[in-house]
Every structure is written in structure tokens, then in C-alpha cells.
């Protein structure tokens, strides 16, 4: 029986290209919790705390009048925590007072983005014109399912999935099993009704028209917003200035290739003008999106090359990849994300035919480069 060697690894990105370097128009400025920073007329930047290693999220407040009456639209909502809710209440008692909430646009279903959406609508819109959630249907359904599931981001199925990819510390697996209410603790409820966002949809918000750009790999159907006239991109988590977006495989889609989807999605953003101002969910507003996209492409190329090299030396599990891909100590929260990312890189190469995989005697998936 003849065998065919796997194809040579081919990088996704061919660099170099002379791109505008990354720059931060507001320098080192970071708004204090609950403080609004005006970026453009009718567009303000808000920063809220998160109880994670990634300790903040950027939210955006846009003028959104209706029938000649003032109003507000917020993009993303923060997790359902008391510090964030107190900050929102202070805003509506201060600079946002005198106008109701018209819309809550959520870029995707992760807790730091959708967690307070229902609460905001309940507290800051008006009975005669209640605010509505605007979100992709796929992420809306995923958020509803995660909020109502008996286990989410944890439980027996998640522990078994990570164990099948080599996570073996009994203490870690026990904590994952116990973490069955993780999503619901941060997202106690999700609005049942929403306006559906799809790729290419045009939204008029204040005096600006925004185009929805769907992106994949980080969440089921992430929505970014581009305003061509003023060169603005609310990029959500798809394009961050200094950290790489989490791209993970979990037990719901164990053979998925989210990394391939993510790389294809950010490549589409190279069609946007080079001088676009990106408004990311984490980090500072920045210009130089083409340079950042190419950095991310090269970053993943390098990581894929490291994975191939490790799998060439010995059949390897995702757990074996953690010290290869992550050079720092990881807590349990970070370990689950890191495992998801390691599986994403392995699956991407496996789906492209550059690795093979089989279960060992312990039932662990091991990937090999021939």
C-alpha cells in the first residue's frame, strides 16, 4: 500500500507589505470606569471593569434620536456585575440623563458583551418605545442556549472533552465539572426578542450609516460595524490592537475549524481603507488595521509552524501544545481558553491534511506529522 506524504506547510500570510504602522490617536488615555470620552460627534468611548486577567471591556455610546427626540444606542453591555451596573446607573443620572436608551447592539454572545443587555433595556428605555436588542441571530440563539443550559462553559461534557485532548490533572477536571453555571452567573438573562443583524446590513444611527461585517471563528456570527464616511470600524473582538483574539474549539463542535474561519474573516477587513480608525473591545482605539491584520496572520503562521514541528517530533495532544504555544503560567480560566486554542490550531492543520490524528490507548487524541 502506498502512502502520500502530507503537503508542505504553506503560510497563510505573505509578508512584508508596506502598511501604515499601528498608532494610538488618544495616546495612553484610558477612560476611568463610567467616564465618557468623546471620539467623534455623536460617538463616545466607555470602559468598564472585568474580573479576569483581561480586566476591562470597551463599550461605545452613540447618539440615536428617534422622531426628533434624543436617545442613545450602546454597543455591547458588559457582564452582569454590580460595579458595571452602578456605573451604568451613574451615567444615566449624569451625562446620559434626559434621553432614553433606544437600542442595544451586541457584537457577539460572550458574557462581557451581552451580560447586561437585558438589564439595560429594562432600566433605561421607555415603556412606549422599549429598546430592542440588535444582534446576529446565530449569536442570539447561542446566548439564549448558554444562558438556559444546565451546564455552560463547564460540566461533565466539557471536562470529558478536554480530557480527550490530554488535560489530565484531576484537580483541573474536577473544577471544570463544577463550573456548570459559569455563563449564567455573568449573563443571568438574555432578551427573548431581537432585531437580526446580517453581513452587509446598513444601519442608520444618528447621522452615520454603518455597514455590518460578519466575522467567524471567535463566536458563531460576530458583527463588526464600519462607517465609510468617517473611516470608523467598531471591530469588537475580531480585531484587537495588542492581543490575539481567542479562537477556540469546544465540545459543541469538536471537529470545527474556527481558526480557518477567523483568518478568512480578518482577511476580508484588508478591503477596508488603510487609515480606518478601529474601535476594539479591548485595548485602545488604533489606526493601522492592515498592519495589525498582517501581524495576526503572521502570528498564527508561526504558531502553526510550532505545532507542526512538535507533532513531527512525537504524536501530540492539545495538552502537550500548551507549553509550546503559551510561555507563561496559566490559571484554570486561562487553561480552558488555552486548550480551546490549542485544539483550534491542531484541527486547522488536520482539516488541511497537514496532520493526522488517532486516539491512543487512553482515548486521547494525538496528532502526528508524517
- What are the pLDDT digits (tens) for 253-302? 999 999 999 999 999 999 999 999 999 999 999 999 999 999 999 999 99
What value does the mean pLDDT take over residues 27-48?
97
The mean predicted confidence, pLDDT, of the chain is: 93
Q: Which whole-number Å values give the CA distances from 140 to 25, 160, 197, 231, 316, in the listed order?
A: 33, 26, 10, 28, 36
Query: Is the per-residue pLDDT at 189 higher than 50?
Result: yes
Residue 243 confidence (pLDDT): 95
Contact criterion met (CB below 8 Å) for 286 and 242: no
Beta strands 56-63; 277-280: pairing state:
unpaired
Residue of higher predicted confidence among 337 and 1: 337
Average pLDDT over residues 222-236: 99
Residue 107 domain-assigned (yes or no): yes
Give residue-wise pLDDT tens across range 171-182.
999 999 888 788
Q: What number is the average pLDDT over the span 205-221?
A: 98
Given this model, what pLDDT does residue 153 score?
56
Q: How far is CA 365 from CA 32, 254, 299, 316, 350, in A?
A: 46, 11, 25, 8, 12
Residue with cell 470606569: 33
Averaged pLDDT, 113-138: 96
Residue 317 in any domain: the answer is: no
pLDDT band at 38 (very low <50, low <70, confident <90, very high): very high
Strands of 155-287, DSSP E: 194-196, 202-205, 208-215, 222-227, 232-236, 277-280
What are the angstrom distances between the C-alpha of 138 and each of 142, 192, 240?
A: 6, 13, 22
Domain presence at residue 60:
yes
Closest-CA residue to 265 (of 297, 301, 227) = 297
Characterize 49-62 residue by residue with b for buried, 16 or more Cβ atoms within 10 angstroms of its Cβ, and e for exposed.
Answer: bbeeebebbbbbbb
* Letter string b/e over residues 98-135, b meaning 16 or more CB atoms within 10 A of that residue's CB: ebbbbbbbbbbbbbbbbbbbbbbbeebbeeeeebbbbb
Here the CATH number for the domain that contains residue 82 is: 3.60.15.10
**Sequential DSSP letters for 192-219:** S-EEEP-TT-EEEETTEEEEEEEE-SSS
Over 60: is that where the pLDDT of 228 sits? yes
Task: Indicate if the pLDDT at residue 8 is higher than 50.
Answer: no
For residue 13, tell me if it sits in a domain: no
Residue 261's domain comprises: 37-150+180-307
Residue 259 in domain: yes
Residue 4: band (very low, low, confident or very high) from pLDDT cuts 50, 70, 90:
very low
Residue 18: which pLDDT band, with cuts at 50, 70 and 90? low
Residues, the chain, total?
Answer: 370
**Which of 144-153, 220-229, 288-297, 355-364 has the weakest average pLDDT?**
144-153
Q: pLDDT tens digits for 49-87? A: 999 889 999 999 999 999 899 999 999 999 999 999 999
Strand partners, 295: none
Residue 228 lies in a domain: yes
pLDDT, tens digit (0-9, with 9 covering 90-100), for 293-323: 999 999 999 999 999 999 999 999 999 999 9
Per-residue pLDDT for 225 more than 50? yes
C-alpha distance from residue 272 to each of 126, 213, 225 (Å): 37, 11, 12
Q: Is residue 24 part of a domain?
A: no
Q: Mean pLDDT across the stretch 189-193?
A: 97
The number of distinct structural domains making up the chain is: 1
> Is residue 164 situated within a structural domain?
no
What pLDDT is attached to residue 155? 85
Q: How confident is the model at residue 19 (pLDDT cuts 50, 70, 90)?
A: confident
Q: Which of 130-134, 174-178, 233-237 has the lowest mean pLDDT?
A: 174-178
Is cis: bond before 107, omega within 30 of 0?
A: no
- Pairwise CA distance, residues 369 & 356, whole Å: 7
For the cut 90, the answer to whether the pLDDT of residue 149 exceeds it is no
Rounded (5°) CA angle 249-255-257: 65
How far apart are alpha carbons 135 and 137 in whole angstroms? Answer: 6
Query: Is residue 37 a contact partner of residue 44, using CB atoms and an 8 Å limit?
Result: yes
The answer to whether 265 touches 217, Cβ cutoff 8 Å, is yes
Amino acid at each position: 500500500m502506498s502512502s502520500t506524504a502530507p503537503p508542505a506547510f504553506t503560510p497563510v500570510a505573505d509578508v512584508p507589505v508596506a502598511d501604515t504602522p499601528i498608532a494610538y490617536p488618544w495616546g495612553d488615555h484610558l477612560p476611568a470606569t463610567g467616564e465618557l470620552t468623546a471620539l467623534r460627534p455623536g460617538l463616545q468611548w466607555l470602559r468598564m471593569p472585568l474580573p479576569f486577567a483581561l480586566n476591562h471591556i470597551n463599550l461605545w455610546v452613540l447618539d440615536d434620536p428617534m422622531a426628533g427626540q434624543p436617545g442613545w444606542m450602546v454597543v455591547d453591555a458588559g457582564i452582569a456585575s454590580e460595579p458595571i451596573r452602578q456605573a451604568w446607573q451613574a451615567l444615566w443620572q449624569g451625562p446620559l440623563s434626559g434621553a432614553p436608551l433606544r437600542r442595544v447592539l451586541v457584537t457577539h454572545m460572550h458574557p462581557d458583551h451581552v451580560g447586561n443587555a437585558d438589564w439595560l433595556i429594562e432600566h433605561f428605555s421607555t415603556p412606549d418605545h422599549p429598546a430592542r436588542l440588535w444582534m446576529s441571530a446565530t449569536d442570539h440563539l447561542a446566548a439564549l442556549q448558554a444562558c438556559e443550559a444546565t451546564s455552560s462553559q463547564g460540566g461533565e461534557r466539557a471536562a470529558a472533552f478536554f480530557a480527550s485532548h490530554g488535560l489530565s490533572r484531576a484537580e483541573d477536571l474536577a473544577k471544570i465539572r463544577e463550573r456548570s453555571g459559569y455563563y449564567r452567573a455573568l449573563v443571568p438573562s438574555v432578551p427573548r426578542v431581537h432585531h437580526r443583524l446580517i453581513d452587509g446590513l446598513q444601519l442608520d444611527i444618528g447621522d452615520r450609516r454603518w455597514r455590518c461585517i460578519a466575522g467567524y471563528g471567535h463566536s458563531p456570527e460576530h458583527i463588526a460595524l464600519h462607517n465609510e464616511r468617517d473611516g470608523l470600524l467598531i471591530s469588537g473582538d475580531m480585531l484587537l490592537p495588542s492581543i490575539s483574539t481567542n479562537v477556540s474549539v469546544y465540545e459543541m463542535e469538536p471537529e470545527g475549524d474556527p481558526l480557518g474561519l477567523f483568518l478568512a474573516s480578518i482577511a476580508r477587513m484588508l478591503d477596508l481603507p488603510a487609515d480606518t480608525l478601529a474601535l476594539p473591545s479591548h485595548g485602545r482605539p488604533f489606526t493601522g488595521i492592515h498592519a495589525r491584520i498582517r501581524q495576526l496572520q503572521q502570528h498564527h503562521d508561526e504558531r502553526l509552524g510550532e505545532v507542526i514541528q512538535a507533532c513531527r517530533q512525537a504524536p501530540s495532544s492539545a495538552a502537550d501544545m500548551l507549553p509550546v504555544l503559551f510561555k507563561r503560567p496559566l490559571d484554570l480560566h486561562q487553561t480552558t481558553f488555552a486548550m480551546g486554542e490549542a485544539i483550534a490550531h491542531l484541527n486547522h492543520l488536520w482539516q488541511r491534511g497537514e496532520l493526522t490524528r488517532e486516539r491512543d490507548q487512553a482515548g486521547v487524541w494525538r496528532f502526528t506529522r508524517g
